[in-house]
C-alpha cells in the first residue's frame, strides 16, 4: 500500500513567516518529476508543532492539489492530545489524502497501554489508513514492538514509520506482524540496511534534497538488488549526517534555499537559522554534489 520513497516534506515560508504556497507547489512538482513515490505533508519535518490547525489543513490541501493524483499524499495528524489528533484527522479526511501519519504523543510519556488507546481512538475516527510513527529521540516515549503488533490488529492501522535507527528493532517487529503490515524507515542513516533487511520503504528527510536517489534506492531494494541499493546510498551518505548537524528541519530548509528551491529558509520559532559553520558545511557538500544554485 505505502511502499517506496516518501519525502518528509518541509513547509516553505516567506521571511515574515507566512506559508509560501507557490514554493510548496514547486517542491511538489520537483518530487513528482524526480520519481518520489509519495509525500508526507505537515509531518514533524513540515513543522507541524508550530502550524495552527487552519494552516496545517491548508498546507495539506494545497499539497494534494499540486500532486493532482500523480503521487500519494500522507497527512501528518499527530498530537500529544488524542482529541486534537482526532480533530485534525476528521478535518483532513475529505481533502483527497491517501492516509495519515500519527506520531507517538510527545512530552506526555504515555504507557504502552496509553499508546494503544490513543492510536485506536484515532483509527476509529477515520476511514483512511493510519501509519504509526515511533521516534523516541524526539518524543522520549518509545513504542515497543509488542505494542505495534497489538495496534496492527486494527483494520485501519496499516504500517509503522520506525525512526529508532535500530535494525534489531525492525527484526523484532517483523516477527510479530503480518507481511502486509508496512514497515518504513524514518532514520536516513540506517535506511539502506532497513530496506535490505526487508523494510518496505522510507519516509526520508534526505529525499528533500536528492529525491531521485532515494526513490531509486527503494526501487532497487524492493526488486532485490541490494548491491545497487547500497551503491546509491554510498553516493549520498554524507547528506544523511550533515542534514542533521542541527535539529531537523533546520538544515534541509537551508539546503533547499541554497539550491534555489525556496525563496527563504525561514523557520517558525523556537527554531532558528543554522549557525554559520553549519551553513558552510552543508553548502560545501551541495557544491561537491553539484546541487548548489548558481
Binding residues: 45, 203
Beta-bridge partner residues of 13: 19
User: What's the rounded Cα separation, in Å, for the pair 230 and 246?
Assistant: 26
Check 6, 61, 106, 133 and give the catalytic one. Answer: 133
User: What's the rounded Cα separation, in Å, for the pair 85 and 134?
Assistant: 15
Is residue 161 annotated as a catalytic residue, yes or no? yes
Least Cα distance to 239 among 228, 255, 261, 263 occurs for 255
Annotated binding site for pyruvate: which residue ranges? Answer: 45, 203
Is residue 107 annotated as a catalytic residue, yes or no? no
Check 72, 161, 253, 261 and give the catalytic one. Answer: 161
Residues acting as catalytic residues: 133, 161
Amino acid at each position: 500500500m505505502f511502499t517506496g520513497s516518501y519525502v518528509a516534506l518541509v513547509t516553505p515560508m516567506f521571511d515574515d513567516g507566512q506559508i509560501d504556497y507557490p514554493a510548496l507547489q514547486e517542491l511538489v512538482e520537483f518530487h513528482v518529476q524526480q520519481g518520489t513515490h509519495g509525500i508526507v505533508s505537515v509531518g514533524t519535518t513540515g513543522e507541524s508543532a508550530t502550524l495552527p490547525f487552519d494552516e496545517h489543513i491548508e498546507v495539506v490541501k494545497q499539497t494534494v492539489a499540486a500532486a493532482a493524483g500523480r503521487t500519494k499524499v500522507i497527512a501528518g495528524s499527530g498530537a500529544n492530545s488524542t482529541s486534537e489528533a482526532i480533530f485534525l484527522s476528521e478535518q483532513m479526511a475529505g481533502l483527497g489524502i491517501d492516509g495519515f501519519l500519527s506520531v507517538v504523543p510527545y512530552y506526555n510519556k504515555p504507557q504502552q497501554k496509553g499508546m494503544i488507546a490513543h492510536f485506536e481512538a484515532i483509527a476509529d475516527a477515520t476511514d483512511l489508513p493510519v501509519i504509526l510513527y515511533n521516534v523516541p529521540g524526539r518524543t522520549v516515549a518509545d513504542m515497543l514492538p509488542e505494542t505495534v503488533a497489538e495496534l496492527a490488529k486494527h483494520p485501519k492501522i496499516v504500517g509503522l514509520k520506525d525512526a529508532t535507527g535500530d535494525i534489531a528493532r525492525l527484526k523484532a517487529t517483523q516477527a510479530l506482524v503480518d507481511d502486509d503490515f508496512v514497515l518504513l524507515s524514518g532514520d536516513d542513516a540506517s535506511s539502506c540496511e532497513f530496506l535490505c533487511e526487508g523494510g518496505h520503504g522510507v519516509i526520508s528527510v534526505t529525499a528533500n534534497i536528492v529525491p531521485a536517489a532515494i526513490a531509486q534506492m527503494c526501487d532497487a531494494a524492493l526488486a532485490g538488488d541490494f548491491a545497487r541499493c547500497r551503491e546509491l546510498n554510498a553516493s549520498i551518505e554524507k547528506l544523511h549526517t550533515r542534514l542533521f548537524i542541527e535539529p531537523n528541519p533546520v538544515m534541509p530548509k537551508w539546503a533547499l534555499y541554497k539550491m534555489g528551491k525556496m525563496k527563504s529558509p525561514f523557520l517558525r520559532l523556537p527554531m532558528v537559522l543554522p549557525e554559520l559553520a553549519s551553513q558552510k558545511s552543508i553548502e560545501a557538500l551541495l557544491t561537491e554534489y553539484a546541487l548548489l544554485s548558481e
